[in-house]
A and B are shown apart, each in its own frame.
Chain A
Amino acid sequence: MTDKLSIEIDGRVCEASPGEMIIAVADREGIAIPRFCYHKKLSIAANCRMCLVEAEQGGRPFPKPVPACATPVAAGMKVLTRSPKALEAQRGTMEFLLINHPLDCPICDQGGECELQDVAMGYGGDVSRYSEGKRVVKDEDLGPLVATDMTRCIHCTRCVRFGAEIAGVRELGATGRGEDMRIGTFVAHTLTHELSGNIIDLCPVGALTSKPFRFKARSWELTQAEGIAPHDAVGSNLHLHLRGNQVMRVHPKDNEAVNETWISDRDRFSYEGLASPDRLTEPMIKEDGAWRPIGWQDALIRVAERLKTASADQIGTLIAPTATLEEMYLAQKLTRGLGATAVDSRLRQQDFRGDAADPPLPWLGVPIAELETRDAVLLIGSDIRQEQPLLAHRLRKAALGGAGIVLVNPLPLELTFPAQQLVTSAAGMLGELAAIAKALRKRGSGSVKDLIAQANPTDRHTSAAERLKAAGTERSGLILLGALAAAHPDYTLLKALAYVIAEATGSTVGYLPLAANSAGAYLAGALPHVLPGARPGEAIGADARAMLVTARKAYVLWGVEPSYDFANPSLAATALGSADLVVAATAFRAPSLEAVADLMLPIAAFAETSGTFVNAEGTWQRFQGAVAPPGEARPGWKVLRVLGNLCDLPGFEYADSGEIHQELATLCAEVRPDNAPRGDLKVEPSLAEAGLMRVGTLPIYRTDPLVRRAAALQRTPGADVFAVGLNPALAADVGLADGELAVIRQGKAEARAAVVLDAALPPDVALIPSGVTGSEALGEQIGPVAVAKA
């Protein structure tokens, strides 16, 4: 059955696989067949009838034109896409589709890039014979991202199928019948899915368009540049649409190995942050508590002088994991060149005890595209839909294909696929993993031995263990550690347990790197224990937490907003506040930065600089700057190059960022991603079982300074909500009711937030998001907390 067969389309002999549809073969051969409802990633609806073609089989013509999207090929089939009969059928369909379509192209955002316009030009008649009244459909408010003009809808149902099949949440539906059929939510509500922006691309007409882009530009005024998404570790390939020196919108660029044809809403709409009034447009210096502009030359000389005079063991460099590979490389080169060893980009991690045993270049463990072919996946500490929307989509595909997905998390997740969720307290996550290990009759060694010995596996652990074991025999089991695991006070033990389970089941261990270039930090050496080329450092420098616990005299902050980008913002504020010198290279001004910094250097943000991101699977994705940075802002690598020169350091003579890339690529030539740990460490659990623990998720639109300034994303429901999620039983104990104001204490750190009761939360978890407005004053993202009546 898998043999290839050959068919003839418009006289051309084409190879096809049995079961393929005519349109898929034609697309591969570059033969144009008009269509609206067909989309290669969606199920076949065959409801628009635009792709009617003439076909014959074994010399016998089909009695009627057939839809190319829903007619499977057969050996010897002959298809005519441009015969008089086919053209007649296409023209007829086009006439019907246009009956109810308004003639508002001049004011339609889709005008100029509209499939209906294009196909009407190519296949329709030139005069309308329809003079009766047209249908009008009331618009719906789908929220801040997607604008609607439902009168333009031609009922292709791509958006409905996208919801059911790709997103996994059916938000849109086709209600009513015949003339009264309409696409909508029926009960007005905002689209909440993190991939919902893709329906804008799917919509062949102007019914669903981008709301932030609405009436901003016409498609023919835009030029297209390529880019790489700067948020999650997928590194989605993008098309940036520019007018003049402004990014007007962002579209996905097809790349089957990375993002298929989709991008997350975060990648699509975060460009709005580029035009934020918070942009820093000239170097600034703080004198007597007041900020004043200062020239670049002056600023850099001052920075260099003060860095040169600072004692090397007093310098700490903290780099955002969204910095480019080139920036990371030069920043660590500068720091290490000055004799300092404290450089880190893992700002949201608090347990670094595993550094010495860490794998040399942690990665996803499998290529991104292979996630969907796994038979069993164990996800440890990951709010996967918020962290990595497109990886969640890949896992959904695996789950729908029958894979067993098990999650060990300190909070219940709303997933779009069937999965087994082991929800427990933050400390309890160790016990759950130990129980799975024990169910596999694994004793473990070193630090996890006691944990496993104490564990009491139940049926759910046994079933999870068996699922992984069965998959492991096919080499298709996968254990992934997410962002909540990385923020966990016992990350080292979680990793150790993951390796024990992996060994017992034959599964692969993988990491979900936190941000766009977290994986790149290992290659660039932007870590205290790793040198460029992912080589283990001889002397381990101070990590991101140690740099703050033992305050330094001088800090270099690269793309960091202290209030939101650290696992422990109150600790960061104290440490940075007590320093003699804080140099902040940043694209945005922020109150928390201005409070602690002495100098602010404006650097280019996403789309404004060339650079490289290394995604979760270890792919280097290089991109060029598409627009110029605003004002006096400069690409980060240039700033670092000059700074290196001014500090009299060798090896900073680069003419362009390509040279930096080349230098690092040479260093990394032999480096392959590798998740094998380098050793075994004896560490004790640092979390007591008892006591209330804060679990600080990082909401999807609060991950980095750029997205936090994307206006439309911030208006989506729940984007920036500071609240305390509590189990009702626990809330009753402390006398707190739903909606009441609670005071949250983490050591000396204190904040107030409203209580949200959630019976699904474990009794000793207080769900208090980090990165949101109001959370700036709090302590560890995951750590002990006290909640009381305000």
Chain B
Amino acid sequence: MSLRSAPLAVEAPERARDGLFTPEIRAQIDAHVAKYPPEWKQSAVMPALTLVQEWNGGWLTRELMDDVAAYLDMPPVAVYEVATFYGMYDLEPVGRHKIGVCNSVSCLLCGSEDLIHHVERKYGVRPGETTADGRFTFKEVECLGACRHAPAVLVGKTYHECLTPEALDKLIEELD
């Protein structure tokens, strides 16, 4: 028996799943759950967290993580593990947009540090912080997989490559 094959939890005391999230989100999570064998509902935890985070305005509360755990029959701590491991989940309130600058080696060599320092100076936010006007949350992220066009920045869901501080400024100005 390994950790992987051990049932992570016993049947949780029946919690009203119908009341969780919205019917649309439940349907979308169910579509992901359907991709896996029935006893592996927990495999859908990442898409479920992504869906719920978007619904909640870009971040996850502990209650929402607990709800995801209940919805997928997982122990809550297993959901926290996933949500704290991956950079795309935010556990604190965020701005209207998210800007993630890659800090991994290729981007670092090609000037992502300049981008980070530039944002810090010009907008007064350190990685992990949100601008005072709530326009964006600034994040350092691990490798975006866009090394050939480093440095890369993720704005919302869009990749921007070969960026200079000026080009990044332009991108930020376009945000509402």
Q: Which residues of A contact B (CB under 8 A)?
A: 43-45, 161, 164-165, 168-177, 180, 185-187, 400, 414-418, 760
B62 within 8 A of A: yes
CB-defined contacts of B77 to chain A, threshold 8 Å = 170-173, 175, 185-186
Complex Cα gap A170–B82 (Å):
14
Closest 3 CB pairs of A and B: A173-B77, A43-B2, A170-B75
Q: Is the CB of B80 within 8 A of A164?
A: no
Interface positions of B from 1 to 42, Cβ below 8 Å from A: 1-4, 6-11, 13
A173-B80, A175-B85 known; A44-B10 Cβ under 8 A: no
Cβ–Cβ < 8 Å partners of A168 in chain B: 10
Q: Are B3 and A177 in contact (CB under 8 A)?
A: no
Which residue of B1, B11, B13 is within 8 Å of A400 (Cβ)?
A: B1
A-B contact pairs, 18 of them (CB 8 A): A43-B1, A43-B3, A43-B4, A44-B2, A161-B3, A164-B3, A164-B8, A165-B3, A171-B77, A173-B78, A174-B81, A175-B77, A175-B84, A176-B84, A177-B84, A186-B80, A400-B7, A418-B10
**In the complex, are the beta carbons of B6 and A43 less than 8 A apart?**
yes
Interface residue? B76 (CB, 8 A): yes
Given contacts A165-B1, A176-B85, A400-B1, contact A416 B80 (CB under 8 A): no
Contact A170 B78 (CB under 8 A): yes
- Chain A contacts of B1 at CB under 8 A? 43, 165, 400
Identify 13 new A-B residue pairs, CB closer than 8 A, beyond the known A175-B84, A180-B84. A170-B75, A170-B78, A173-B77, A175-B81, A176-B84, A177-B86, A185-B77, A186-B77, A186-B80, A187-B62, A187-B76, A416-B10, A417-B10
Residue of A nearest to B86 (CB): A177
Instruction: Judge whether A177 and B85 touch: CB under 8 Å.
Output: yes
Please state if A170 and B10 are interface contacts (CB–CB under 8 Å): no
Min CB gap B11→A, angstroms: 6
Q: Which B-chain residue is minimally distant from A184 (CB atoms)?
A: B77
State the Cβ distance, A258 to closest chain B Cβ, in Å: 21
A175, B10: Cβ atoms under 8 Å? Answer: no
Contacts of B6 in A (CB 8 A): 43, 164-165, 400
**Distance A416 CA – B4 CA, assembled complex (angstroms):** 17
Q: How far is the CA of A165 from the CA of B77 in the complex (A)?
A: 14
**A169 to B62, alpha carbons, bound, how many Å?**
19
Q: Which of A161, A164, A186, A400 contacts B84 (CB 8 A)?
A: A186
Q: Which residues of A contact B2 (CB under 8 A)?
A: 43-44
Interfacial residues, chain B to chain A (CB-CB below 8 A):
1-4, 6-11, 13, 62, 75-78, 80-81, 84-86
Chain A's closest residue to B5 (CB) is: A43
- Report Cα–Cα, A417/B2, bound state, in Å: 16
CA distance A650 to B69 in the complex (A): 69
Q: Which residue of B lies closest to A177 (CB)?
A: B85
Write out the residue numbers on chain A whose beta carbons fall within 8 Å of the beta carbon of B8: 164, 170
Q: How many angstroms from the CA of A358 to the CA of B33 in the assembled complex?
A: 53
Q: How far is the CA of A498 from the CA of B84 in the complex (A)?
A: 50
A176 to B84 CA separation, bound complex (whole angstroms): 5
Cα–Cα, bound, A398→B11 (Å): 17
Chain B residues, CB < 8 A from A165:
1, 3, 6
B129 to nearest A CB, angstroms? 17
Within 8 Å CB of B4, what residues of A?
Answer: 43
Chain A residues in 8 Å Cβ range of B3 = 43, 45, 161, 164-165
Residue in A closest to B3 when the chains form the complex, CB atoms? A43
Please report the C-alpha to C-alpha distance between residue A165 and residue B7 in the assembled complex, in whole angstroms.
Answer: 8
Residue of A170, A180, A185 contacting most chain B CB atoms (<10 Å): A170
Q: Which residue on chain B has the smallest CB distance to residue A399?
A: B10
CB nearest neighbor in A for B66: A187
Q: A165 to B5, alpha carbons, bound, how many Å?
A: 10
CA of A462 to CA of B175, assembled, Å: 65
Q: How far is the CA of A170 from the CA of B9 in the complex (A)?
A: 8
For A187, what are the chain B residues with a Cβ–Cβ distance below 8 Å? 62, 76, 80
- A172 nearest CB neighbor, chain B only: B77
Residues of A within 8 A of B76 (CB): 186-187
Q: Which residues of B contact A172 (CB under 8 A)?
A: 77
A170 / chain B contacts, CB cutoff of 8 Å: 8-9, 75, 77-78
Closest Cβ of chain B to A486, distance in Å, is: 27
CB <8 Å contact, B9 and A175: no
Bound CA span A186–B78, Å: 10
Chain A residues, CB < 8 A from B62: 187
Q: How far is the CA of A231 from the CA of B6 in the complex (A)?
A: 30
How long is the Cα–Cα vector from A328 to B4 in the complex, in angstroms? 49
Please state if B11 and A175 are interface contacts (CB–CB under 8 Å): no
- Bound CA–CA A164/B78 (angstroms): 10
A595→B53 CA distance, assembly (Å)? 63
Docked complex Cα distance between A760 and B15 (Å): 13
Q: Which of B11, B13, B81, B84 contacts A418 (CB 8 A)?
A: B11
B10–A415 CB distance below 8 A: yes
CA distance A204 to B94 in the complex (A): 40
Which residue of chain B is the closest to A412 with respect to CB atoms? B13
Chain A proximity of B13: nearest CB distance (Å): 8
Closest A residue by C-beta to B80: A186
Shortest CB-to-CB span from B163 to chain A, Å, is 25
Nearest B residue (CB) for A45 = B3
Q: Which residues of B contact A161 (CB under 8 A)?
A: 3
Q: How far is the CA of A452 from the CA of B75 in the complex (A)?
A: 41
State A414–B9 Cα separation when bound (angstroms): 12
What are the residues of chain A within 8 A of B81 when measuring CB–CB?
173-175
Considering the complex, give the chain A residue whose CB is closest to the CB of B4: A43
- Bound state CA distance, A176 and B4, in angstroms? 19
Set of chain B residues within 8 Å of A185, measured between Cβ atoms: 77
* Minimum distance in angstroms from A685 CB to a CB of chain B: 32
Distance in angstroms from A643 CB to nearest chain B CB is: 51
A177 to B140 CA separation, bound complex (whole angstroms): 14
Q: How far is the CB of B25 from chain A (nearest CB, A)?
A: 23
Closest residue of chain B to A157, judged by CB? B3
Best-surrounded residue of B7, B10, B85 (most CB of chain A within 10 A): B10
In the complex the two chains form, what is the Cα distance from A594 to B8 in whole Å? 50
Residue of B nearest to A161 (CB): B3
A477 to B75, CA, bound (A): 31
- A180 to B142 Cα, complex, angstroms: 14
In whole Å, how far is B9's beta carbon from the nearest beta carbon of chain A? 7
The minimal Cβ–Cβ distance linking B120 to chain A, given in whole angstroms, is 20
CA distance A587 to B92 in the complex (A): 56
C-alpha gap A416/B6 in the complex (Å): 12
B residues in contact with A177, CB < 8 Å: 84-86
A651 to chain B, nearest CB (A): 53
Closest residue of chain B to A760 (Cβ to Cβ) is B13
Q: In the complex the two chains form, what is the Cα distance from A174 to B76 in whole Å?
A: 12
Q: Which residues of the partner chain B approach A417 to less than 8 Å between Cβ atoms?
A: 10
Cβ contacts under 8 Å, A44 to chain B: 2
Output the least CB separation between A422 and chain B (Å): 16
Q: Which residues of B contact A45 (CB under 8 A)?
A: 3
CB distance from A411 to the nearest CB of B (A): 14
CB-defined contacts of A180 to chain B, threshold 8 Å: 84
Q: Which residues of A contact B10 (CB under 8 A)?
A: 168, 415-418
Give chain B residues whose Cβ lies under 8 Å from the Cβ of A760.
13
Residues of the A chain whose Cβ atoms lie less than 8 Å from the Cβ of B7 = 400, 418
Q: Which residue on A lies nearest to B62, using beta carbons?
A: A187
Q: In the complex, what residue of chain B is closest to A165 when comparing beta carbons?
A: B6
Whole-angstrom CA separation of A416 from B86 in the bound complex: 29
Taken together as a complex, chains A and B put the C-alpha atoms of A415 and B86 apart, in Å, by: 32
Give bound CA distance, A144 to B77, whole Å. Answer: 21
Return chain B residues, CB-CB under 8 Å to A176. 84-85
B154 to chain A, nearest CB (A): 18
* Cα–Cα, bound, A513→B8 (Å): 31
B52 CB to nearest A CB, Å: 17
Q: Report Cα–Cα, A220/B173, bound state, in Å.
A: 67
B36 to chain A, nearest CB (A): 19
Q: How far is the CA of A541 from the CA of B79 in the complex (A)?
A: 60
**Which chain B residue lies CB-closest to A173?**
B77
* Complex Cα spacing A168 to B7, Å: 9
Q: How far is the CA of A168 from the CA of B6 in the complex (A)?
A: 9
Bound together, the chains give a CA A695 to CA B45 distance in angstroms of 40
Q: Which residue of A lies closest to B11 (CB)?
A: A418
Bound CA–CA A671/B30 (angstroms): 60
